[in-house]
Every structure is written in structure tokens, then in C-alpha cells.
Structure 1
Amino acid sequence: MSTTVEAGATAPSKHLGMRKNGKQWHAPRTAFRPGSGLTSFEKRAKERAERAMMKVKEKELKDEKEAERQRRITALKEKRAAKEEKERYEKMAEKMHKKRVERLKRKEKRNKLINS
């Protein structure tokens, strides 16, 4: 008795009978209605506007991120260049007098300002 009660509980409430093509294991199909998925022009226009706004916001965020990345890269390059220049002057200071190295520094700084 318990088996019939369990079988009745698991079976669907509406019995459709045998399928015509014999493929009972497939899910039941519904009628094809091509117009059922259409949306109104206002709704499509609203979705397009929302998508455009989202793209603009994404572009802003992307540009901010890229600007931050470029800022870090330039800061790193400047830091490395300053370090190299400092090492070069230290090397020169080992061979030359301190005042002559300072004179060369000032001269090079003037040339940099003129050339760039």
C-alpha cells in the first residue's frame, strides 16, 4: 500500500498520456509563438540608454585606472633616473673635487632646461 501512495505523490498531477512521437523522456513542448518575445520601442530605447550610460561609466573608471597606472609608471621612471644621476655624480665625486662636481651639476641642469 505504501508503494502506491509514494508513486502517486511523485507523479505529475496532470497526466498527458503517451506522446505521439514516443519520446516520453523529453520535457513537454509548448507552442511556437514568434511574437511573444517582442518588446515595445520605449522599453528598448530605455534599455539602450541604460547601456550607453553604463558604458560611459565603465569608460570613466577604466580611464581613471589607466591614469593612475601611468602616474605610477612615470613616478617610478623619475625615481630611477634620479637614482642613476645621483650614482653618476657620486662616481664623479670620487675622481674630482667636490666643488667641480657641483659646478658640472649646475651646468647640466641649465642645459636640460634649455634643451627641453
Structure 2
Amino acid sequence: MATEAVQPKSAPITASVNQVTGMRKNGKQWHQPKTRFRPKAGSNSYAKRLEERKSMSAVKAKEKEMKDEKESERQRRIENIRNKRAAKEEKERYEKMAEKMHRKRVERLKRREKRNKLLKS
């Protein structure tokens, strides 16, 4: 006995074997347990994702700015058309009045209506 070399017990070598979590339901304990299929997991770093988010937010802000600019231009054109139509209708109305009344009286009414419009707004 004295001639035998006593080796201290070391941790069992189980690095390559996965830890058993219990009996497998299908009875195939000799197969390696499967892991989830995650092809993109860990491929992008957090900093890279943050950078992508910043660039996307910048692009969206630019798009929103361009859309707002386009919409304001559209609204301006619509307002121009409305003003032109209103002026044309008013002009036609005064022409109809001029057919029935004297020209000077129509001009007087125009001035009076302008004053009333300015007082209202």
C-alpha cells in the first residue's frame, strides 16, 4: 500500500457532457439536447443597434419634415384658390349690382362693405 501513489481526487471531467436536467420525454437520453434556432442572436452589438436606431430616427425626422413642407405648400395653394374664387364671386356680385344700380352707388357699397369686413376681423 505504501508503494502506491495516492492521487488527490479532482473534479470529474464533465466539461464536454451537458448537465442532465432530467429524463427526456422521448426516451433518447443519448442525444444531445437541442438549442433554440437563433441565427441573428449576438450578431449585432448594442452600440451598433443604438447607432442604427439613431440613423433611422434621423431619416424619419427628415421624412416628416419633407412631408410637412409638402403639405404646407399644398395648403397654401388651396388657400390661394379659395381666395381667388371668393374674389371672383364678389366681383360678379358687384357687376350684377351695377346692372341694376348706378356705378357710384355700387362703389359706395363696396367701400362700406370693406369697412364692415375690417371691423369684423
In the superposition, the TM-score normalised over structure 1's length comes to 0.70
Map 1:30-45 onto structure 2 (within 5 A): 34=38, 36-38=40-42, 39-45=44-50
What is residue 67 of structure 1 aligned with on the other side? 72
**Hey, what's the Cα distance between the residues in 1 that align with 2:82 and 2:50?**
48
Q: State the shift of 1:41 in Å.
A: 0.3
Moved segments of 4+, more than 6 Å = none
Sequence identity of aligned pairs in percent?
65
Q: How many residues align?
A: 86
**Structure with greater helix share of residues:** 1
In the superposition, the TM-score normalised over structure 2's length comes to 0.67
Structure number, greater radius of gyration = 2
Map 1:14-93 onto structure 2 (within 5 A): 34=38, 36-38=40-42, 39-93=44-98
Query: Structure 1 residues 51, 69: closer, same or farther in 2, change over 3 A?
Result: same
Unaligned runs of 5+ in 2: 1-35
The CA deviation string for residues 71-104 of structure 1, in whole angstroms up to 9 with x for no partner, is 0000000000000000000000000000000000
**Hey, what's the Cα distance between the residues in 2 that align with 1:37 and 1:78?**
60
SS at match of 2:81: helix
**Hey, what's the Cα distance between the residues in 1 that align with 2:40 and 2:118?**
71
**Hey, what's the Cα distance between the residues in 2 that align with 1:62 and 1:54?**
12
**Hey, what's the Cα distance between the residues in 1 that align with 2:62 and 2:87?**
38
What is residue 117 of structure 2 aligned with on the other side? 112
Q: How well do the aligned residues superpose, as a CA RMSD in angstroms?
A: 1.6
**Hey, what's the Cα distance between the residues in 2 that align with 1:92 and 1:46?**
69
